[in-house]
Amino acid sequence: MSLRFTYTLTPRTRVSAGRAGSVLNTREIHTVIPGTAVRGALGTAWWSHPTAAFDGHDAERIFDRLFGRQLVVGPAVPFVGDRHAELCGLSEVSCKYPGSECPPGRHDLVARRLDVCPMCGGAIERSRGGWDVDGSWLVDTTRTALKNGAAVDEQLFTRKAMGRQVCYRGRLTVRGADEDELAAELAWLQQRFDISIGGQRSTLGRCGWSLEPAVAPPLPEGNTIVFRLRSPAILIGAFGQPTFDLKGYLGARAGAGDVGATWTRPEQVSGWHGVAGVPKPLEWALATGSTALLSGWARSSLQEVRQGVGLRQREGFGEVELFAVGDLRTWDLASESGEKPGGQKHRSQDRSIASVAPARVSSEAHADPVEELSGLLPAELRVKTLKALRGACRQLMLTVDNGLPAATCIADALNQPWARDLGPDSRNLVARTLKDPDIGDHVARLDTLIGEPG
């Protein structure tokens, strides 16, 4: 069995964990602290913390058992209040040169393939994965290089640091653990003490440590599940060779079902062994945000893959997130039209139609979009467009009935030539119609307007 916890780091000073490969005089920092840095700080505290060092019997044997085999420390993800950094999938895209009409935020290609921005027709930009951290959480700190206590000319270093208001949270698991046997270690881990993370230990990166028991969230429902890496994964193939073939790796696991499309990017990871003071080997890994679509997997296999993948999991590599297809971030183009959020028209299909983007409030939000559209369309396009819209409404109702994401279907409809070539106002009305939970009423109204049953 495994014991699950959530740890929280509350900075006493700014956190600035340096990343290997400094560029010129600006040091890049980890906005997310790798599990290995947190684990290293814990290891240091175990032996040499002035007040909280482990003082039980058999410290060496217990250290080896805990740190060598059982303790898995995931990455520390920043948060401010109830806002967390967002895990960004490599399958996500955004509009490269967004105009005012373009959908805000990101769209996940897992839900629907797109080659261009469906609103402006311009290029879309692939995400590089990783964690999306609010830029306002970062501050610049500047310092000069010192030689014999005096500043060295032209050696000014700017270092990005996270603001003091930013705290961090991560997963900690004690694997294969029997709670009674581990009483001493668990008591040690669950006390509150300060640890030091990152470079410049004396001035930066002092954090308060706290640990709370956690319950695993339920596995997502449905036959098709999205797999995404929360940290880089070091995968090896059947012969121990490094591999970037996520599809092959997942497909070869015991009890695996189908592995559909994957989105991956290789990157190099390294680390610093804080206790020994030596760099850890540079290794190739699949980047955070790498994504795969799993279908037909046994629940037990999903349960297992969720524990993590690949090598060096104890240091936080290969941390996995599973979620339902309905929870993908997608461009809900209908929100452009000013559909009010929530409201009295609440139906079960609302859930999948619900927008991830805040809806804009427009003065004509209450007018009937079908009537308005009908009045706006030129005579030669009117019947043809209303018929196409009726078809799209029916398709959408079927989609929602089958439990598939509505946003995908709406985006599909808007990408059809009949909708794509409309003016922006008409297009917005089409989007509003498709997004309305009372879509059945619109089909009836379209029947009347078209004047013949379809």
Please report, for residues 34, 118, 227, 381, 422, the alpha-carbon distance to residue 450 in angstroms, rounded to integers and kept in the order given: 60, 27, 45, 12, 18
Pick the closer one to Zn ion by CB: 122 or 163: 122
Interface map 85-104 toward Zn ion (x if CB under 5 A)? ----------x--x---x--
Pick the closer one to Zn ion by CB: 192 or 360: 360
Among the candidate windows 57-65, 76-84, 109-117, 141-149, which touches Zn ion by CB under 5 A? 109-117
C-alpha span between 175 and 71 (Å, rounded): 6
What's the closest the beta carbon of residue 98 comes to Zn ion, in angstroms? Answer: 5
Pick the closer one to Zn ion by CB: 98 or 242: 98
In contact, 124 and 95? CB cutoff 8 Å: yes
Pick the closer one to Zn ion by CB: 118 or 274: 118
Pick the closer one to Zn ion by CB: 30 or 107: 107
Strand 224-229 to strand 258-263: parallel, antiparallel, or no bridges (unpaired)?
A: unpaired
What's the closest the beta carbon of residue 103 comes to Zn ion, in angstroms? Answer: 7
Q: Does 429 bind Zn ion (CB under 5 A)?
A: no
Among the candidate windows 67-75, 110-118, 177-185, 352-360, which touches Zn ion by CB under 5 A? 110-118
Among the candidate windows 116-124, 232-240, 358-366, 435-443, which touches Zn ion by CB under 5 A? 116-124
Among the listed residues 71, 72, 114, 117, the single contact to Zn ion using CB under 5 A = 117
Q: Does 59 bind Zn ion (CB under 5 A)?
A: no
Size of the site for Zn ion (CB under 5 A): 7
What's the closest the beta carbon of residue 358 comes to Zn ion, in angstroms? Answer: 18
What's the closest the beta carbon of residue 111 comes to Zn ion, in angstroms? Answer: 17
Pick the closer one to Zn ion by CB: 100 or 148: 100
Pick the closer one to Zn ion by CB: 117 or 235: 117
What's the closest the beta carbon of residue 372 comes to Zn ion, in angstroms? Answer: 24
In contact, 311 and 318? CB cutoff 8 Å: yes
C-alpha span between 266 and 282 (Å, rounded): 13
- Across the beta sheet with 124-126, what order do the strands follow? 107-108, 92-95, 124-126
Among the candidate windows 7-15, 71-79, 83-91, 112-120, which touches Zn ion by CB under 5 A? 112-120
Pick the closer one to Zn ion by CB: 119 or 246: 119
Could you tell me the sign of the dihedral formed by the alpha carbons of 135, 138, 140, 145, in that order?
negative
CB neighbours of residue 231 within 10 Å: 32
Please report, for residues 195, 235, 318, 368, the alpha-carbon distance to residue 313 in angstroms, rounded to integers and kept in the order given: 22, 11, 6, 55
In contact, 229 and 290? CB cutoff 8 Å: yes
HEC string for 162-181: ECCCCEEEEEEEEECCCCCC
What's the closest the beta carbon of residue 116 comes to Zn ion, in angstroms? Answer: 8
Pick the closer one to Zn ion by CB: 103 or 310: 103
CB neighbours of residue 371 within 10 Å: 13
CB neighbours of residue 214 within 10 Å: 14
Q: Does 120 bind Zn ion (CB under 5 A)?
A: yes
Output the residue with the shortest Cβ distance to Zn ion.
117
C-alpha span between 390 and 423 (Å, rounded): 18
In contact, 55 and 305? CB cutoff 8 Å: no
What's the closest the beta carbon of residue 228 comes to Zn ion, in angstroms? Answer: 25
In contact, 336 and 100? CB cutoff 8 Å: no
What's the closest the beta carbon of residue 99 comes to Zn ion, in angstroms? Answer: 6
What's the closest the beta carbon of residue 333 comes to Zn ion, in angstroms? Answer: 11
C-alpha span between 169 and 163 (Å, rounded): 15
Pick the closer one to Zn ion by CB: 120 or 211: 120
* Residues that bind Zn ion in the complex, under the rule CB under 5 A: 95, 98, 102, 117, 119-120, 122
